């Protein structure tokens, strides 16, 4: 969310940013919110003036009240009573008018906030301009994309060959499409990948967290846009609680309405959680695949820092994901999101994509985002300097790893011709084996 003062003083810049994001339908909101802000400030100014007048009337009331108490004749008493009655009526009228103005100010502030929540954040000048994800820009590749000289099966077929997945029971008996049972070595593999991701980030100096898996609506609207919330979040019926779509939601919410001493920054956190998503607009969920699903696990990284340090952290964060995947022998590339593909809260975003030998292309396995002070402004996350000045922090988030989507890349890139799965060296201390073998049929 932008600063209202910034919008008021830079309306054309805000409109140009909207045009860069190809959201021309929002252009009229800039003029509307500026008009509402003017009305709100006028109401506040009138209320403040009435407050000053009331203070003067109170002093005047005290003067005549003293006169009444010390009246030596009926004329003085009558004059005092007349003025007390007049002032009492005037103060009552002032209070009624102030109440009207305060109500109007509250209503205007609510309307202003609603509009400000949908006006997009100012994107970084380095963001490529484009309408949608087809115009995202490749930044760099890491590792050589490799296609083996044998056919790489569909990822579910790879898992089924080692008795690692049960889709039918989840789909037909317990839960429906978008759910599955992992079992045996594949279930262990996913847990080991997450354990390795945890330790990988701890070694980078991040503090490990397991956060709440449900959050209140006040946190939801602070960390994401309404459109994202409607398409992603599961609401708990009868309660002000939502299942998290990523642990970033809980972790940023942890700092809601806080003032952190500047010397304690940056806050570098890594968190594990299950994640729950509706996947609305996913054009149907695959019956046999685990690419788009309603429930998965994820290791996330979150940073709260000074504004001048946020771009440095942005580059560090996605480089950690690249490094993590490369230790597992998975080729990846980084892809910068263009303006039209950038969520409204984001200043800049880069996706990490893994190589798929089966599809002979890259696919998204993580996303790194710099949100500037947008989340901090919504949630009241402030920083206090040594000289007692306060400002809004910058927040960033990035995926370390999100099985089972990452599991697809892992299986395809570490598959042997006989259907067994090689375990990279970095993961062997966790798996306690160097290969997942195909069971011998009895």
Listed in order, strand segments (DSSP E) in 176-324 are 181-182, 207-209, 214-215, 234-235, 242-243, 258-261, 267-276, 295-305
Q: What is the DSSP string of 296-310?
A: EEEEEEEEEE-GGGH
What gap in Å lies between CA 136 and CA 379, rounded to an integer?
A: 30
Q: Yes or no: is domain 4-116 CATH 1.10.3720.10?
A: no
pLDDT per residue over 101-132, tens digit each? 999 999 999 999 999 999 999 999 999 999 99
CATH 3.30.930.10 in the chain, residues? 133-436
Q: How high is the pLDDT of residue 283?
A: 45
| pLDDT over 90 at 227, yes or no | no
Q: How high is the pLDDT of residue 226?
A: 62
CB count in 10 Å sphere of residue 257: 9
C-alpha distances in Å from residue 362, one per residue of 37, 48, 412: 47, 60, 12
CATH 1.10.287.40 in the chain, residues? 4-116
Phi-psi region of 352 (alpha: psi -120 to 50; beta: other; left: phi over 0): beta
pLDDT per residue over 163-186, tens digit each? 999 999 998 999 988 889 999 999
3-state secondary structure of 4: helix
Q: How high is the pLDDT of residue 152?
A: 96
Superfamily of domain 133-436: Bira Bifunctional Protein; Domain 2 (3.30.930.10)
291 versus 151: the higher-pLDDT residue is 151
pLDDT per residue over 4-14, tens digit each? 999 999 999 99
pTM: 0.88
């Amino acid at each position: 969310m932008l600063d209202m003062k910034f919008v008021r003083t830079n309306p054309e810049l805000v409109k140009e940013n909207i045009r860069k994001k190809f959201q021309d339908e929002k252009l009229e909101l800039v003029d509307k919110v500026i008009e509402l802000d003017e009305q709100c400030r006028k109401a506040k100014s009138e209320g403040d003036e009435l407050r000053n007048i009331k203070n003067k009337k109170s002093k005047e009331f005290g003067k005549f009240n003293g006169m009444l108490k010390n009246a030596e004749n009926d004329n003085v008493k009558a004059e005092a009573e007349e003025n007390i009655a007049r002032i009492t009526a005037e103060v009552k009228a002032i209070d009624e008018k102030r109440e009207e103005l305060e109500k109007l100010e509250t209503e205007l502030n609510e309307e202003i906030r609603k509009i400000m929540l949908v006006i997009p954040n100012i994107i970084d000048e380095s963001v490529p301009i484009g309408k949608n994800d087809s115009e995202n820009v490749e930044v760099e590749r890491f590792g050589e994309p490799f296609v083996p000289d044998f056919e790489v099966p569909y990822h579910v077929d790879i898992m089924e060959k080692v008795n690692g997945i049960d889709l039918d029971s989840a789909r037909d008996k317990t839960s429906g499409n978008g759910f599955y049972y992992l079992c045996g070595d594949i279930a262990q593999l996913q847990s080991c990948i997450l354990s390795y991701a945890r330790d990988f980030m701890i070694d980078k100096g991040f503090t490990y967290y397991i956060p709440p898996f449900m959050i209140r609506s006040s946190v939801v609207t602070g960390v994401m846009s309404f459109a994202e919330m409607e398409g992603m979040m599961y609401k708990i019926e009868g309660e002000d609680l939502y299942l998290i779509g990523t642990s970033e939601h809980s972790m940023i919410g942890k700092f809601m309405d806080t003032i952190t001493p500047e010397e304690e920054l940056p806050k570098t956190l890594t968190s594990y959680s299950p994640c729950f998503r509706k996947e609305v607009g996913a054009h149907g969920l695959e019956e046999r695949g685990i690419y788009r699903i309603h429930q998965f696990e994820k290791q996330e990284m979150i940073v709260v820092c000074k504004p001048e340090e946020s771009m440095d952290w942005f580059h560090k964060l996605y480089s950690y994901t690249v490094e993590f995947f490369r230790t597992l022998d998975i080729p990846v590339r980084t892809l910068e999101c263009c303006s039209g593909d950038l969520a409204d809260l984001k200043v800049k975003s880069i996706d990490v994509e893994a190589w798929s030998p089966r599809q002979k292309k890259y696919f998204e396995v993580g996303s790194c985002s710099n949100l500037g002070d947008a989340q901090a402004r919504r949630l009241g996350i402030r920083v206090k300097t040594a000289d007692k000045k306060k400002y809004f922090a910058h927040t960033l988030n990035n995926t370390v790893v999100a099985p089972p989507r990452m599991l697809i890349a892992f299986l395809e890139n570490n598959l042997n011709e006989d259907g067994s799965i090689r375990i990279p060296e970095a993961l062997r201390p966790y798996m306690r084996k160097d290969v997942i073998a195909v069971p011998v049929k009895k």
